[in-house]
Amino acid sequence: MAVIAERDVVKGYGSKERPLLSELWSRDSRGPNAAMQARGDHQPNNRQIDYARYHDPAFFQQELDKIWNRQWLFACRDEDIPQVGDRVPLTIGPNSYFIVRSDTDSFKAFYNSCLHRGTKLCAKKEQAETIRCPYHAWEWNVDGRLKRIPSHWDFPDLTRLNASLPEVRLERWGGFLFINADKDAPPLLDALGPMPDHFAAFAPENRYTKARFRKLVRANWKITQEAFQESYHLYATHPEGVPFTGDSQSQYDIFTTPLGAVGREAVPSAVPSMHADSSATAHAAAMVAAQVQQMWHYPDATLPDIDPAKDVRAQLGDWLRQSYEQSYDRPITESDAVMIDSSLYFLYPHFTLWLSESVPFVYQFLPHETDPNLCYFDVRLLMPWREGEPRPPAAEPIEIGADESIAEKAPAYGFLAMIFDQDMSNLPLVQQGLKAANPAAPYSRLGAYQEGMIQAWHELIDRDLAR
């Protein structure tokens, strides 16, 4: 991996008619909030990434040892295991853990291995009053304390004092449960950086998983994540979005933290891309954005009558807030930015949460059990529910094979399922193509700004692997 000679970085490309995101946010009808005014504190300079790190088994093993065993990893949401005794497994490469609701508002994470002969204790989501090994019926309470060993007389050295299940650190934020196999790692809040403040009004803890899929992808976990860390690909991969999505006007920020970084990719909607032809207007872009949201989120709403002589984003933001309040019977005061745009917050190494009412997604990128050329891509649709009604149950994940269509298997994602399929179509080609590169120069040539988050993530990977 090589560093390119440093020079001034141009941070986006816009015009008076198609402004940069920072200009749009400065004119927000609700006023720019602290999250909108925040700027990253790191500019990476790491534009040549060695392709071997995407497929080399030795590099894959180093990642497992020095990243996945030492960072805070998104495991599940509290809503996934709503009853005491509920549990779900988490597989990270060859490593396996499971997370249990041990009391009404308490959770535990354990190594997924019986103390007797190593049998996996939790192979799928399940519920029971105890944790019981299927092989020889060794049994623990849901808080991990030993309850029973059949023929205990034959194991005199094991007692309730020394045979509890070994725990893995677990901490919570926003309804999300994170684990860390490193007992000496700094707390989760240190890793989250600005996210708790930026998401305070969004309140992910007061949402539910309306839909979820988990797809096997024929690409390394980094390649799959990198497909979403830049909007540069919109022009070629999602051309239907060019008239109403400002890809070249997007803003990228890297916020450093004690454990790594939080990266933010903020992409404006209701504004034409600089790649769009001259016929594309802000008014037309706002109307398309309204139609998309009506179709997906607010089917009972009447489309707005947006006046092109006035601020079209302010009018669209008002319509979206009104539609939200009518749908959920709860007030909302979020900015136009949160109602309209897509702000993706990436927490190193593998978790993404969208600060967006239009596209409220959660991403999780996980390495395959054994093969660096494969990974898992887990996507949740995190929605509010109607005030005064009970919280709906979390949707179970739809398993989607490497050659299966997301649009066909997960229709709840609407037109965005097609967008995901477009993204997925690129990834195997990237995984194959990087192996076919010129051996004299087997590395990427990344953009200085639009692909800066990819650069930053590889800087962090290098840092972790050097420890």
Which of 96, 94, 87, 97 lies closest to 124 in space, CA to CA?
Answer: 87
Residue in the structure block whose two tokens are 């004299």:
440
Residue 24 Ramachandran class (φ > 0 left, ψ -120 to 50 alpha, else beta): alpha
pLDDT at 6: 53
> 34, exposed or middle or buried, with CB in 10 Å at 0-12, 13-18, 19+?
exposed
Number of Cβ within a 10 Å radius of residue 463: 12
pLDDT in tens, 262-288: 999 999 999 999 999 999 999 999 999
> Residues 358, 342: contact at Cβ < 8 Å?
yes
Sequence-distant (≥ 6) Cβ neighbours of residue 116 within 8 angstroms: 133, 135, 136, 138, 149
Average pLDDT, rounded, for the chain: 96
Question: What is the CA angle 434-375-185, rounded to 5?
Answer: 110
C-alpha 60, offset from chain centre: 21
Q: Write b or e for each residue in 145-163: b if 16 or more Cβ atoms lie within 10 A of its Cβ, otherwise e.
A: ebbebeeeeeeeeeeeeeb
pLDDT at 155: 98
* Confidence band for 46, pLDDT divided at 50, 70 and 90: confident
pLDDT of 7 > 70? The answer is no
Q: Which residues pair with 343 in a beta bridge?
A: 266, 355
Alpha carbons within 13 angstroms on the beta-carbon side of residue 76 total 24
Helices 312-328 and 282-296, axial angle in degrees (round to 10) = 10
Give the strands of the sheet with 342-347, arranged side by side. 251-256, 261-267, 342-347, 351-355, 361-367, 375-383, 208-217, 398-400
Kindly state the percentage of the chain with pLDDT values over 90.
Answer: 97
Strands (E) across 20-166 are located at 73-77, 86-92, 95-103, 106-111, 126-127, 130-132, 139-141, 146-148
Domains for the chain: give ranges and CATH numbers: 21-41+190-436 (3.90.380), 73-180 (2.102.10.10)
pLDDT in tens, 412-421: 999 999 999 9
Tokens read off for 232? 């540069």
pLDDT at 4: 54
pLDDT in tens, 68-105: 999 999 999 999 999 999 999 999 999 999 999 999 99
Average pLDDT over residues 38-47: 93
CA-to-CA distance for 235 and 276, rounded, in angstroms? Answer: 9
